[in-house]
Amino acid sequence: MFRYISGRILIGIPILFLVITIVFFAFRLIPGDAARIIAGDEAPIERVEQIRRDLGLDRPAIVQYGAYLAGLARGDLGTSFSSRRPVATEIGSRYWNTFSLALAAITVATVVGVAMGVISALFRGRWADHLVTVAALLGISIPVFWLGLLLMQLFAVELGWLPAAGYGTWQHFVMPTITLSVFSIAFITRMTRSSLLETVQQDYVRTARAKGVRERLVLFMHSLRNALLPVTIVVGLRFGYMVGGAVITEEVFAWPGLGRLLILSVAQRDIPVVQGLLLVFATSFVVVNLLVDVLYAFLDPRIRHR
């Protein structure tokens, strides 16, 4: 198991290094001048050049890249151009907001998705299966921003049950959680259904039925337990996407998380914050994948033996 985990960690290191390099040089190719945005459109060119020197933007890109890597080696993500606060502080103050929203969304998605997938597989070819299939198709097809606005119109404007936007109480979690989890619910539902239908065709399941084991025990003790192994990977991947991909949901509901900070930083050309955010997203995704791989190896001894 130690060799397995070590191998996964070693795979993640070059991925993070590649992300850092691509993001750093990509921002140097995007049109726009951070110094001009900070100084303002009416500022004289002398002021713009002074800001550019203060921020180190007048140095060659390769020199800036080396300084950035040296800072990362010390755990320094840099300083925000707009707020002049450390990037780690800017990200740290919002990370929990995004993480808690992603955790709530993946919990709802897992419970509802697995339940719907089991129901669909149990009633294969019947009306319940067709209903779940249509619901999953709608969940995959509905745009996130449109669903968020629809929920806001219904529960905040028409009914007045929930706050329209913001962060603070459990009521603020309801609509963003639903919005963020719908696509994952549909995805997990389809994966659970297909995996369970494939598992019930295995020899050990037919043997259990031939021995007279009750159908409910065959389903939950033999089929479902093994069918959920690939679903575990899907849940982990979806959680990684949620941590780094809740941008639209956070913007619709004015959620003070990393996604909203990313949009604001891109608009302001706050390069250090954007680089730090993308590095955090990539690291979170790599860590989640590592945990999923370890969990899968723990649940399936064949992976460890290989």
Least confident of 13-27, 35-49, 246-260: 35-49
Query: What's the full length of the chain, in residues?
Result: 306
- Is residue 53 in some structural domain? yes
Q: How far apart are CA 123 and CA 120, in angstroms?
A: 5
Q: Are residues 143 and 57 in the same domain?
A: no
Q: Are residues 291 and 231 in the same domain?
A: yes
Q: How far apart are CA 265 and CA 275, in angstroms?
A: 10
Report the domain count for the chain.
Answer: 2
- Is residue 79 in some structural domain? no
Determine phi and psi for 292, rounding to 5 degrees: -65, -40
> pLDDT value at position 112?
92
The whole-chain average pLDDT of the chain stands at 81
- Is residue 150 in some structural domain? yes
Q: How far is CA 259 from CA 13, 123, 232, 253, 254, in A?
A: 24, 40, 25, 11, 10
Greater confidence (111 vs 65) lies with 111
Least confident of 42-51, 67-76, 119-128, 229-238: 42-51
> pLDDT value at position 109?
92
Which residue matches tokens 């993500």?
A: 77
pLDDT band at 111 (very low <50, low <70, confident <90, very high): very high
- Is residue 80 in some structural domain? no
> pLDDT value at position 108?
92
- Is residue 136 in some structural domain? yes
Q: What is the pLDDT of residues 266-295, one digit of tens each?
A: 887 788 888 888 888 888 888 887 787 777
- Is residue 81 in some structural domain? no
Which structural domain range is residue 36 located in?
A: 2-73
Tell me: pLDDT of 303 over 60.
no
- CATH number, domain at 159? 1.10.3720.10
Q: Are residues 165 and 297 in the same domain?
A: yes
Q: Are residues 269 and 168 in the same domain?
A: yes
Q: Are residues 146 and 292 in the same domain?
A: yes
Q: Are residues 43 and 120 in the same domain?
A: no
In the listed set 16, 45, 73, which residue is the last one of a domain according to the structure?
73
Q: Are residues 58 and 117 in the same domain?
A: no
Q: Are residues 42 and 143 in the same domain?
A: no
List beta partners, residue 79. Answer: 86
Q: Are residues 154 and 209 in the same domain?
A: yes
Tell me: pLDDT of 103 over 60.
yes
- Is residue 109 in some structural domain? yes
Q: Are residues 104 and 63 in the same domain?
A: no
- Do the Cβ atoms of 232 and 299 come closer than 8 Å? yes
> pLDDT value at position 133?
87
Instruction: Give 153-175 as a 3 state SS string.
Output: HHHHHHCCCCCCCCCCCHHHHHH
pLDDT band at 306 (very low <50, low <70, confident <90, very high): low
To the nearest 10 degrees (0 to 180), the angle between helices 87-122 and 271-299 is: 40
